[in-house]
């Protein structure tokens, strides 16, 4: 069989990444991970672990938050992404759905969708129409509300719109930042289904979640970030079975009776002294 051209099945490769905010605050240290083409990779971790920072570094939006990459590299296929701008990432096929389902509240659903894919240059109307159809097939509720102001949508619908807007750029790698945050269980389930569907259509997903149960059920591999460092990595099924993940992220109480949340905080405070061995 002839060898595929290097860019045909691009993987995201993050190697030895250090990120700081301002002059002092180190947010990521020596972070390495890979998102192979067509897979779902979950990134778990407590508040402040650096999950969003990693997505910002990949999508080129770090500078907008006064963050900087001080070491390491990020490549997507043959494209170097570190230190690039968001447009370069989008052009390479990498699109981020930001935390907190930020949509343009004063614009309609349709206008929000049209804003997705800006920066890609002029696209053929049929390409835009095709992307729009894909979004409406995934999210029929949005199709019913194209002229409604986005600010009037429910939280779950706004999350759908935020994902839909990203899909308008026809990404090959979607970066999702806590899509389940603050949503009712039924909506969390719906979002999980959608992520599965998007992936089945050939888009790789880097999924940041505090809802470890949801993320691990979707992911092929997973990584646990703790205070800026990768503490555990491995196949999602294996990680779901490890005691540390069960206790800290799957809400199972410990023998001492500490709640998962309490223990997460303690773990963060003990940074550097916890489970150091990755499963992979």
Ligand X SMILES: Nc1ncnc2c1ncn2[C@@H]1O[C@H](COP(=O)(O)OP(=O)(O)OP(=O)(O)O)[C@@H](O)[C@H]1O
**Nearest distance from residue 98's CB to Mg ion, in Å?**
9
Binding residue for ligand X (CB under 6 A) from 9, 66, 105, 280?
66
Q: What x/- string results for residues 206 through 235 when contact with ligand X is judged by CB under 6 A?
A: ----x-------------------------
**Nearest distance from residue 210's CB to ligand X, in Å?**
6
Reduce the DSSP state of residue 85 to 3 states and report it: coil
Q: What x/- string results for residues 11 through 50 when contact with ligand X is judged by CB under 6 A?
A: ----------xx--x-x-----------------x-xxxx
d(Cα 242, Cα 252) in Å, to the nearest integer?
12
How far from the centroid of its chain's Cα atoms is residue 5's Cα? 27
Residue 233 interacts, among Mg ion, ligand X, none and using kind-specific CB cut-offs from 5 to 8 Å, with none
Is residue 59 within the footprint of Mg ion (CB under 5 A)? no
Q: Which is nearer to ligand X, 50 or 86 (CB)?
A: 50
d(Cα 41, Cα 215) in Å, to the nearest integer?
9
Is residue 270 within the footprint of ligand X (CB under 6 A)? no
Contacts for 143-147 with beta carbons within 8 Å, 24 or more apart?
145/109, 146/108, 146/109, 146/110, 147/108, 147/109, 147/110
Is residue 96 within the footprint of ligand X (CB under 6 A)? no
């Amino acid at each position: 069989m002839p060898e595929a051209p290097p860019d045909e099945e691009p993987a995201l490769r993050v190697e030895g990444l250090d990120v700081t905010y301002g002059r002092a605050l180190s947010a990521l240290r020596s972070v390495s991970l890979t998102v192979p083409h067509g897979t779902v990779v979950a990134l778990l971790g407590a508040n402040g672990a650096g999950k969003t920072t990693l997505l910002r570094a990949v999508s080129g939006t770090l500078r907008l938050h006064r963050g900087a990459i001080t070491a390491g590299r990020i490549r997507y296929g043959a494209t170097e992404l570190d230190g690039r701008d968001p447009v370069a990432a989008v052009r390479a096929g990498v699109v981020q759905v930001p935390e907190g389902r930020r949509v343009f509240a004063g614009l309609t659903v349709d206008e929000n969708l049209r804003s997705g894919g800006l920066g890609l240059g002029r696209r053929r109307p049929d390409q835009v129409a095709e992307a729009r159809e894909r979004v409406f097939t995934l999210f029929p509720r949005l199709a019913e509300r194209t002229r409604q102001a986005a600010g009037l949508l429910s939280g779950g619908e706004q999350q759908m719109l935020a994902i839909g807007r990203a899909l308008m750029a026809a990404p090959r790698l979607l970066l999702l930042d806590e899509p389940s945050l603050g949503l009712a269980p039924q909506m969390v389930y719906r979002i999980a289904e959608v992520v599965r569907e998007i992936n089945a259509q050939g888009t790789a997903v880097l999924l940041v979640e505090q809802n470890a149960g949801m993320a691990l059920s979707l992911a092929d591999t997973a990584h646990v970030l703790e205070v800026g460092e990768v503490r555990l990595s491995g196949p999602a099924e294996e990680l779901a079975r490890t005691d540390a993940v069960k206790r800290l992220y799957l809400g199972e109480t410990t023998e001492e009776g500490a709640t998962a949340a309490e223990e997460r905080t303690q773990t963060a405070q003990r940074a550097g002294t916890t489970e150091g061995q990755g499963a992979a």
